């Protein structure tokens, strides 16, 4: 089968805050199709390094919905006629979707690369019917000309009054921010359901100029000097440093908290065969190596066959940073979220 050298991207349009676009990379359009719902960060790299190569290799017409994880999950939940076949979600949202039975039960024998995931990753997949394809964590990105930061506790410094941004509670690392506040208070959130952590957040509030939903919002804030530091996921570092090269990223020696991004096939998908091929492509050695590049998606690999050099591993949840990354019990977190969201909004967003 011969394919055209270039992929064609149809006009994009907006649906409830997410972008839906179509990539056609086949000389025989219509021989297969797939709609992928994924994150709205680094969409250019996502198309060039994942969606278009998959479409070309498999002779599949790929439509894409871009947006934040929780919003896209909510749309799926409330639209039984959604055209989405596969959805990429943060771990807490993947667990929520599985609990609400939004996904197909997976046949892992159809994924030839599944065997290259760790035992813990395979267990997560089997427990949720979602397949982890990258692991990320968060740290502090800051302007070294305006601040000297070494630890999470430094975020509470009076020198940073009105100068930091943190992820909102409903974002991928919102719950992890609450865990950091608990660490600052020296009381684990699981011991008191976050009571001490919220007191610590109230103490942090004078320093917080923004609780953000999209890390892309931070680029201009750093440029204008509105913020000096921000708590961010490592997947956004390349984007922020591309527009602000002087920014430094720090994972404190005390550690960080990890999150998997997972893929699921929606229960109502009519393109299951292509969906399985897409998942297998995402966890293949070749594609995992490709998207690990800082010039691509900066995704830390889960495929054990992928080995990164020290330079390639920079700013990823890999090697020493992965060893310092602590896990979050998202089953516990999701039970607490309605109460936590209410408390967070009263303290941070009023």
Q: Delineate the domains of the chain, giving CATH numbers in brackets.
A: 8-135+261-312 (3.40.190.10), 136-257+325-348 (3.40.190.10)
Residues 151-174: tens digit of each pLDDT: 999 999 999 999 999 999 999 999
Q: Which residues of 170-204 are buried (b: 16+ CB within 10 A; e: fewer)?
A: bbbbbbbbbbbbbbbbebebeeeebebbbbbbeeb
Q: Provide the pLDDT confidence category of residue 284 given band limits of 50, 70 and 90.
A: very high
For helices 195-204 and 330-348, angle between their N-to-C axes, nearest 10 degrees: 40
pLDDT exceeds cutoff 70 at 262: yes
Q: Is the pLDDT of residue 28 over 50?
A: no
pLDDT confidence of residue 31: 55
Strand partners, 140: 231, 250
Q: What is the pLDDT of residue 2?
A: 30
**pLDDT at residue 6 greater than cutoff 50:** no
Cβ-contact 221, 153 below 8 angstroms: no
Residue 349 or residue 343, greater confidence = 343
Whole-model pTM over 0.85: no
Average pLDDT for 119-123: 96
pLDDT at 287 over 60: yes
The token duo for 64 is 């894409």
pLDDT higher than 50, residue 101: yes
pLDDT band at 299, cuts 50/70/90?
A: very high
CB neighbours of 81 closer than 8 A, spacing ≥ 6? Answer: 268
Q: Mean pLDDT over all residues of the chain?
A: 91
| pLDDT digits 0-9 by tens, 46-56 | 999 999 999 99
Structure confidence at residue 304 (pLDDT): 97
Q: Is 17 helix (H, G, I), strand (E, B) or coil?
A: coil
| Residues β-bridged to residue 64 | 21, 36
Strand partners, 89: 262
pLDDT band at 19 (very low <50, low <70, confident <90, very high): very low
Nearest to 90 by CA among 305, 334, 304: 334
CA separation for the pair 333, 175 (Å, rounded) = 7
d(CA 141, CA 251): 9
Interval 300-324: pLDDT, tens: 999 999 999 999 999 999 999 999 9
**In terms of Cα–Cα distance, which of 317, 287, 322, 264 is closest to 85?**
264
* Alpha helices, H only, the chain: 43-46, 52-58, 69-77, 91-99, 119-128, 174-185, 189-192, 195-204, 218-224, 237-243, 272-282, 285-291, 310-313, 320-324, 330-348
The total of other beta-carbon atoms located within 10 Å of residue 1's CB is: 9
For residue 198, what pLDDT is reported?
A: 98
pLDDT at 1 over 50: no
Q: What is the mean pLDDT of residues 258-278?
A: 97
| Residue given tokens 């359901």 in the structure block | 193
How far is Cα 120 from Cα 122, in angstroms, rounded to an integer? 5
Q: How far apart are CA 48 and CA 281, in angstroms?
A: 14
Question: pLDDT-based confidence at 26, cuts 50/70/90?
Answer: very low
In terms of Cβ atoms closer than 10 Å to its own Cβ (0-12, 13-18, 19+), residue 29 is: middle
Instruction: Give the N- to C-terminal CA distance of the chain in Å, as an integer.
Output: 59
**Cα angle, residue 321 at apex, residues 222 and 126 outer, rounded to 5°:** 110
Residues 173-203 pLDDT 10s: 999 999 999 999 999 999 999 999 999 999 9
In a 10 Å sphere around its CB, with 0-12 CB exposed, 13-18 middle and 19+ buried, how is residue 307 labelled? exposed
Angle between helices 91-99 and 69-77 (to 10 degrees): 10
Whether 10 shows a pLDDT value over 50: the answer reads: no
Structural contact between residues 309 and 144, judged by C-beta atoms closer than 8 angstroms: no
Please report the pLDDT score of residue 58 as a whole number: 96
Q: With a cut of 90, say whether residue 80 has pLDDT above it.
A: no
Residue 25 pLDDT more than 60?
A: no
């Amino acid at each position: 089968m011969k394919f055209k050298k270039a992929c064609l991207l149809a006009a994009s349009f907006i649906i409830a805050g997410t972008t839906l676009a179509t990539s056609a990379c086949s000389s025989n359009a219509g021989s297969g199709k797939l709609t992928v719902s994924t994150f709205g960060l680094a969409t250019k790299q996502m198309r060039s390094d994942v969606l278009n190569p998959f479409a070309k290799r498999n002779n599949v017409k790929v439509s894409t919905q871009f947006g934040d994880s929780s919003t896209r999950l909510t749309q799926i939940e409330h639209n039984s006629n959604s055209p989405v076949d596969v959805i990429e979600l943060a771990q807490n949202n993947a667990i929520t979707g599985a609990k609400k039975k939004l996904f197909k039960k997976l046949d892992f024998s159809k994924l030839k690369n599944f065997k290259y995931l760790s035992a813990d990753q395979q267990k997560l997949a089997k427990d949720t019917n979602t397949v982890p394809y990258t692991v990320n964590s968060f740290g502090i990105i800051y302007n070294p000309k305006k601040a000297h930061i070494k630890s999470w506790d430094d975020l509470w410094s009076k020198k940073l009054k009105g100068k930091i941004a943190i992820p909102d509670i409903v974002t991928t690392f919102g719950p992890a921010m609450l865990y950091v506040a608990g660490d600052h208070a020296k009381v684990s959130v699981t011991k008191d359901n976050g009571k001490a952590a919220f007191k610590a957040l109230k103490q942090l509030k004078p320093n917080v100029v923004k609780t953000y939903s999209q890390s892309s919002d931070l680029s201009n804030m750093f440029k204008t000097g509105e913020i000096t530091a921000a708590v961010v996921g490592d997947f956004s570092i390349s984007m922020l440093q591309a527009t602000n090269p002087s920014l430094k990223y720090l994972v404190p020696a005390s550690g960080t908290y990890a999150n998997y991004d997972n893929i699921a096939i929606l229960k109502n998908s009519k393109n299951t065969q292509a969906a399985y091929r897409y998942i297998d492509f995402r966890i293949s050695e070749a594609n995992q190596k490709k998207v690990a590049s800082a010039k691509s998606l900066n995704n830390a690999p889960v495929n054990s066959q992928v080995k990164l050099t020290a330079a390639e591993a920079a700013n990823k949840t890999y090697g020493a940073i992965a060893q310092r990354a602590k896990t979050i019990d998202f089953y516990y977190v999701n039970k607490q979220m309605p109460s936590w969201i209410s408390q967070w909004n009263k303290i941070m967003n009023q």
